[in-house]
Amino acid sequence: MDDVIAQLPSDAAATFQSIGIAATICLPLVKDNRLIALMAVHDAIPRIWTDAELSLIREVVERSWAHIERVRAERTLHETSRRLNAILSNTREAVFLMDENQICVYANAAAEQLTGYSFEDMQGRPLHDVVHHKKPDGSHYPIEECPIDRAFPERAQTSGEEFFVAPDGSFYPVGFTASPVLDDEGKPIGTVIEARNIAEEKRFQEHQVLLIDELNHRAKNLLAIVQGLVAQTMTSSDPEIRKALEGRLMALAAAHSLLTKKNWEPVPLRQLVQDAIAPHVAGHAVSMEGPELMLPSKTAISMVLAVHELATNAVKYGSLSAPGGGVDVRWNVADTELEFQWQEFGGPPVVAPAKRGFGSKMLERGLAAELDGSVKIEFLTEGVICKVRAYIPRLPA
């Protein structure tokens, strides 16, 4: 507007004149089809705005807005940095940040406490040169062999356990996770390293191993004593009864040995079945089919005793008592329910017993109760079938 008196109604012109404006120009700033700002330029006397002046004003508008956006971004970045620093300063996990040259550019308070070095001691140096340059045997630890520094060139997260070197030259174990920092194009520009002292965890684990070893030793001794007592006590008893009882104790001892090797952690069902029937199936066909399934220790012991009982009965009366006989073992899992089936074939014709023996009762009552499920034995002419349904607790991931 070159002259407000000539171009505006008298009331509006009087308003402009009262504040000393005789000519004005108002330039909008539009981004993405949206009005985001206006800039007004005034003059105290009427004038014609030249193209050069208009171009200058447009440039001023663009630069002013760019400056405003930069200030806003810096304020946001500052606030984000403040919050992030507050979080990292209060976390118990040691956090280090390496740049693209693997030089330490940040270490939180927990990192200073872990290493015994201040951030100033680590800043501007590879972290490896400060806390990871020696192996526990005193030999040099080349950075090229360092799994922590491998995250950057390999662009992949790495984790594990290593030994850091304290300022006094002593060593302490740490658990670490190293993750590459990638730019928008996927190029590594740094590494974030998290670490914690695991010396106490190691001591606890060692103590736990000692306790478990002692417990296993005593349990094996107890089983050996029980087997000895059975052998001595039942010397005049029916040999079949003594043999059956000794077989059950041996199966229990075998299950215990397997669980001991696995530190009483879950064990695979397939291995349990193989170990339980191995002493009984020489020269016979045995097939097994089912998904990989890990059983907790309580369920494992029950299943071993069950398979042992089925195998010994098959050796005495069923398919494993005749040449050409065999056993087909199958299982399936639906959610937390195990369906297990033992089926004999190729043996002598089966005759259902007039009454249930100890083994059948142990399976149908004892095993069912132990497994929180059901056990059904079918005496078909072509071979015994035992169907087990059992609850399998979910194992932690």
Is 397's pLDDT higher than 60?
no
Residues 4 and 17: beta-carbon distance below 8 Å: yes
Name the band, by pLDDT with cuts 50, 70 and 90, for residue 69: confident
Q: What H or E segment, with its residue span, contains residue 177? A: strand 171-182
Residues 259 and 267: beta-carbon distance below 8 Å: yes
Model confidence pLDDT, tens digit, residues 318-376: 999 888 899 999 999 988 889 999 999 999 998 888 777 666 777 777 778 878 888 89
pLDDT above 70 covers a percentage of the chain that reads 84
Give the 3-state secondary structure of residue 230.
helix
Give the 3-state secondary structure of residue 120.
helix
Q: Which residues, including other chains, have CB under 8 Å from residue 12's CB and lie 6 or more apart?
A: 4
Name the band, by pLDDT with cuts 50, 70 and 90, for residue 62: confident
Q: Which residues, including other chains, have CB under 8 Å from residue 131's CB and lie 6 or more apart?
A: 115, 117, 164, 165
Residues 98 and 191: beta-carbon distance below 8 Å: yes
Model confidence pLDDT, tens digit, residues 280-301: 888 888 999 999 988 887 788 7
- Of 59-68, 186-195, 207-216, which gets the smallest average pLDDT? 207-216
> Mean pLDDT, to the nearest integer, of 250-265?
63
Domains and CATH numbers, the chain: 4-88 (3.30.450.40), 92-197 (3.30.450.20), 202-391 (3.30.565.10)
- Distance CA(18)–CA(161), nearest Å, equals 78
* E strand segments, the chain: 23-31, 34-43, 94-98, 104-107, 158-165, 171-182, 188-197, 267-268, 285-289, 294-295, 326-334, 337-345, 374-380, 383-391
DSSP classification of residue 1: -
> Mean pLDDT, to the nearest integer, of 76-82?
68
Model confidence pLDDT, tens digit, residues 80-108: 667 777 777 778 899 998 888 888 988 99
Q: What is the pLDDT of residue 135?
A: 92
Is 396's pLDDT higher than 60?
no
pTM of the entire predicted model: 0.47
DSSP classification of residue 279: G
Q: Which residues, including other chains, have CB under 8 Å from residue 107's CB and lie 6 or more apart?
A: 94, 95, 96, 97, 115, 119, 122, 123
Give the 3-state secondary structure of residue 180.
strand
Name the band, by pLDDT with cuts 50, 70 and 90, for residue 226: low
DSSP classification of residue 365: I
Name the band, by pLDDT with cuts 50, 70 and 90, for residue 162: very high
Q: What is the pLDDT of residue 210?
A: 76
DSSP classification of residue 319: G
Q: What residues form DSSP beta bridges with 380?
A: 383
Average pLDDT in the chain: 83
How far is C-alpha 320 from the geometric centre of its chain's CA atoms? Answer: 44
User: Cα-flanking dihedrals φ and ψ of residue 191, to 5°?
Assistant: -140, 135
Residues 41 and 24: beta-carbon distance below 8 Å: yes
Q: What is the pLDDT of residue 253?
A: 66
- Distance CA(95)–CA(108), nearest Å, equals 6
Residues 54 and 61: beta-carbon distance below 8 Å: no
- Distance CA(152)–CA(83), nearest Å, equals 26
Compute the half-sphere exposure of residue 103: CA atoms within 13 Å on the CB side of its CA: 7
